[in-house]
Amino acid sequence: MKNRLQRIINPKTGHTVMLAIDHPYFQGQVSNLSNIRESIWPLLPYSDAVMLTRGTLRNSMDTGMPTPVVLRVSGGASILKDDLSDEEITVSMREAVRLNASAVALSVYVGAPHEKQTLMSLSKLVNEGEEYGMPVLAVTAVGREMVRDARYLGLATRIAAELGAHIVKTYYCENFEKVVEGCPVPIVIAGGKKIPEEEALKNVYEAIQAGASGCDYGRNIFQSEFSVPMIRAVRSIVQENYTADEALELFNSLKTGK
Ligand code: 5RP
């Protein structure tokens, strides 16, 4: 368990830059995830871990890829349905071990119609994960009607940690230090829809200052016109103590090739 966790979260810094590319599991086609070799492979050397599905791992990754894998093992809903929370576990723990995953990930929907189902899936994964030494990352997914504030995200992340999640992923929000304070396990932030790079970098910086262990950004990296400069700028904040302004300067100089 500890060895797997240390593959994801650098023990020297206590931080991680995860790259999330699991979106098609409920969104279908997603821009810049059609040709993974072209859009994602160049980002892997700058990622401490990559979060993806079994399908992407099987179809689009090189067997020699050294980047640790966080395997998305929940699914069953699609964006065509109103209720995204109707998810179950899609991959067995045995299969996750066979695929050499460093952690498994699922979404929990606190306050959504299938709250109990997703929380019980988390508990089941944690029970199985303990048997195999496999960490579980809980994504505190936000239903359409849920407000992304510190009160709600604090509640959802704490519930995930109480049920045994080893890492929790959530959204950045105002007063994020309150979310971190109330959650006894490492927190990484998702990025959400694509926003300007400057803003996305500021969110990473503020989350790290508030005590987050890193980020698990997806669209704000792979949908950037300059995705390699962007992940390198994110990395400079998370792993090299850059400020948001210094990271933006790095981004601008890398994108212009200076
Ligand atoms: C979907 C996920 C995604 O991995 C997550 O949303 C991160 O990607 P982005 O930064 O694009 O939001 O867990 O449920």
* Own/partner long-range contacts of 40-46 (Cβ < 8 Å, ≥24 apart): 40/222, 42/227, 42/228, 43/19, 43/221, 43/222, 43/227, 43/228, 43/231, 44/19, 46/17, 46/228, 46/231, 46/232, 46/235
In short, whether 76's Cβ falls inside 6 Å of ligand 1 is no
Which domains, ranges and CATH numbers included, belong to the chain? 2-255 (3.20.20.70)
Task: Give the three-class secondary structure for 63.
Answer: coil
pLDDT of residue 147: 83
Q: Which tokens belong to 19?
A: 């790259």
Rounded to 10 degrees, what is the CA torsion of 225, 227, 229, 231?
A: 150
CA–CA separation, 34 and 37 (whole Å): 9
Query: Which residue matches tokens 């979106």?
Result: 23
* DSSP class of 10: B
pTM of the model: 0.96
Q: What 3 state SS string does 194-205 have?
A: CCCHHHHHHHHH
Q: Looking at the CA of residue 107, tell me the nearest atom of ligand 1.
A: 14
Task: Express the helix, strand and coil content of the chain in percent, nearest 5 each.
Answer: 45, 15, 40
Per-residue pLDDT of the chain (258 residues; tens, 9 = 90+): 999 999 999 999 999 999 999 999 999 999 999 999 999 999 999 999 999 999 999 999 999 999 999 999 999 999 999 899 999 999 999 999 999 999 999 999 999 999 999 999 999 999 999 999 999 999 998 766 678 899 999 999 999 999 999 999 999 999 999 999 999 999 999 999 999 999 999 999 999 999 999 999 999 999 999 999 999 999 999 999 999 999 999 999 999 986
Q: How close is the Cα of 203 to the center of ligand 1, in Å?
A: 15
Task: Give the three-class secondary structure for 240.
Answer: helix
- How would you classify the pairing of strands 74-75 and 103-108? unpaired
pLDDT of residue 144: 65
- 169 among known catalytic residues: yes
* Cβ-contact 248, 233 below 8 angstroms: yes
Q: Looking at the CA of residue 20, tell me the nearest atom of ligand 1.
A: 4
CA–CA separation, 237 and 226 (whole Å): 17
CA–CA separation, 83 and 13 (whole Å): 38
The protein residue with its alpha carbon nearest to ligand 1, atom 1, reads 23
DSSP 118-143: HHHHHHHHHHHHHHHT--EEEEE---
